[in-house]
Chain A
Amino acid sequence: MTELLTVDDLTVEFTRGGAAVRPVRGVSLTVAPGEIVGVVGETGCGKTLTGLSVLGLLPPGARASGSVRLDGREIIGAPPSVLRDLRGRQVAMVFQNPGTAFDPVRTIGAQFDRVIRAHRGGSRGRAREHAERLLRDVELADTGRVLRAYPHQLSGGMLQRAMIALALSCDPRLIIADEATSALDVTVAQQVRRLLLRLQSERGFGVLFVTHNLAEAYDLCDRVYVLYAGQVAETGPTAEVFDAPAHPYTRALLDALPRADRAGTTLTALPGTVPSSVLAVTGCVFANRCPRAEETCEHSPPPPAAVTASRTAACHFADTGGPA
């Protein structure tokens, strides 16, 4: 199968205060055409930088190495003109906060017009028709009013829908959604998730869905990558990973969730924190918090190992589903 997106051994490095910081350390992942792939993890796990790398949008001072190929084209080290061409046409981004993603001093219509005509050319009238079609597609009814509005005149949910419409304006093959529902109210967030799922099934684009919300990833994603301290801890089909986690970190995350059947009980909280300098860790980065850690874990970092044909986990004692 030809992958739409192939990230291979991606590493992102900064220099901060004279010391090297490596928030992403050898992440590999793939997204097939028409697939929704989740990247989940906690603050600082590297999920956002991984998403930004695909657009070549790393913050200044960040150096990426490894390989990010979109439809076979290498993104790391590509000249700005190539990246500009890829953004919009091949890959588009939906951000967490649509309020800041739009230009506050121009109307929504003007921003659609600029993007549509920059990528597709054509007249203002044609661009406007296209914009209206897109807005109807994201279930925004009063398209005329939305196009005339400035960003602050729309609600967060409407803006996020408009953001998705704008992302779709050039028929990208891959959408990167970074915490796309996290700033929204619960009912609005659910609507946006449903919208994304419907659009995806109609149009067949691939989605790289970056989120901290495990429940949301469970609902939306075909496959998930669980990131910890800049590395992939575990990956596999969503239902399998969530129903029978192979990596102790995934298990710990799921155990920590408050649920109806855990009401009134003490939650199993993961002790400790991510090592402050992960580069100094010689063994497994999770060893200091892991309930299953043994001496091996302190010394040798576990490589990603196959759990089943479609699943891997970077753990010496990965739960392979057999009798424990």
Chain B
Amino acid sequence: MILDVQDLLVRFPGVTAVDGVSLSVAENECFALVGESGCGKTTLARTVLGLQRPDGGTVAIAGTPLAGLRGRALRRLRAQVQIVFQNPYAALNPRMTAGRLVDEPLRLAHPDAGRDDRRRRAEELFDAVGLTGTHRSRYPHELSGGQCQRVAIARALAVGPRLLVLDEPTSALDVSVQAQILNLLDRLRRTRGLSYLLISHDLAVVRHLADRVGVMRAGRLVEQGPSAQLLDAPQHPYTKALLDAMPGRGRAALLADTIEAS
């Protein structure tokens, strides 16, 4: 297991954001966490990244528990897990060029690498995410949303992670760009043997990318299973409600829809 979460508990004043969640992501697997805002999926992701301390339970990355790690050891383990955010513009330091944004993690991962070596690695990364040399000197605001997301992915890949947390990676993008990024993520998983923890509310995206799905509500994992099975034959009423809320089934389905106003 590349990621193993057991009985995770995260409390904030007044709320229990993650309430006893257990899940695991296998090597080269894409596990999707589905749920609406405030369900705890983002808190869970931040905990997996070591950005949030859990109040109970364990998170283990490739067999090593995060708990108790501090300083250098924690930073080293963190490199195994990287994140791609929803809004690519917010995910990139606006004052650094694409080239520097990718060079920075390369320096970190390869402290002994010379300039030529790093440049070669950067070229390889830019190539892998579908960017060209002309993009390197650009600042994020000079790039399109899709190009920014590619830079963000290259930056995350630079430290050689085994697991990528994809936090709504395409929901801020246009349809045509979303397809490009989904294809890219698909290809990277195959060619680099990556594992994904996908966080999304878009069940179409989830179905496209994920092998297994977990549905979260109010901090709890209410249902999990293989994605085709779970999405075709949902067991939990909340999973059914989420599926019923998917647009695109025509006006009759919209009118027949029976979700209660909450």
So, do A and B actually touch in the complex, CB under 8 Å?
yes
- Please list the residues of chain A having a beta carbon within 8 angstroms of any beta carbon in chain B: 42-43, 139, 157, 185-191, 193-194, 197, 212-216, 218-220, 252-253, 256-260, 262-264, 266-270, 273
Q: Which residues of the partner chain B approach A213 to less than 8 Å between Cβ atoms? A: 247
CA distance A241 to B174 in the complex (A): 19
B242–A186 contact, CB under 8 A?
A: yes
What count of chain B residues pass the 8 Å CB interface test? 42
Q: Which residue of A lies closest to B251 (CB)?
A: A219
CA distance A206 to B51 in the complex (A): 49
Q: Which residues of the partner chain B approach A188 to less than 8 Å between Cβ atoms? A: 36, 262
CA distance A218 to B251 in the complex (A): 8
A258–B205 contact, CB under 8 A?
A: yes
B183–A215 contact, CB under 8 A?
A: no
- Please list the residues of chain B having a beta carbon within 8 angstroms of any beta carbon in chain A: 36-37, 144-145, 174-180, 182-183, 186, 201-205, 207-209, 227-228, 231, 241-242, 244-251, 253-255, 257, 259, 261-262
Q: Which residues of the partner chain A approach B262 to less than 8 Å between Cβ atoms? A: 157, 187-188
B174–A220 contact, CB under 8 A?
A: no
Q: Which residues of the partner chain B approach A257 to less than 8 Å between Cβ atoms? A: 175, 179, 204
Task: Report the minimal beta-carbon distance from A317 to chain B, rounded to whole angstroms.
Answer: 20
Q: Which residues of the partner chain B approach A252 to less than 8 Å between Cβ atoms? A: 176
Describe A's contact surface by its main secondary structure: helix
Most buried by B among A187, A194, A215, A273: A187
A197: which of B144, B179, B254 is its contact (CB, 8 Å)?
Answer: B254
B246: which of A185, A186, A270 is its contact (CB, 8 Å)?
Answer: A186
Question: Considering the complex of A and B, which 8 residue pairs feature the smallest CB-CB distances, nearest first?
Answer: A215-B248, A258-B208, A256-B179, A190-B245, A42-B174, A270-B176, A269-B179, A185-B36
Q: Which residue of A lies closest to B176 (CB)?
A: A270
Q: Which residues of the partner chain A approach B249 to less than 8 Å between Cβ atoms? A: 219
A190–B183 contact, CB under 8 A?
A: no
Q: A215 and B208 in contact (CB under 8 A), knowing A194-B255, A197-B255, A267-B182? A: no
A212–B259 contact, CB under 8 A?
A: no
B175: which of A42, A187, A193 is its contact (CB, 8 Å)?
Answer: A42
B182–A197 contact, CB under 8 A?
A: no
Q: A267 and B179 in contact (CB under 8 A), knowing A197-B255, A259-B204? A: yes
Q: A267 and B245 in contact (CB under 8 A), knowing A194-B255, A256-B178? A: no
A190–B244 contact, CB under 8 A?
A: yes
Q: A258 and B248 in contact (CB under 8 A), knowing A42-B176, A252-B176, A270-B176? A: no
Task: Report the minimal beta-carbon distance from A191 to chain B, rounded to whole angstroms.
Answer: 6
Most buried by B among A42, A185, A188: A185
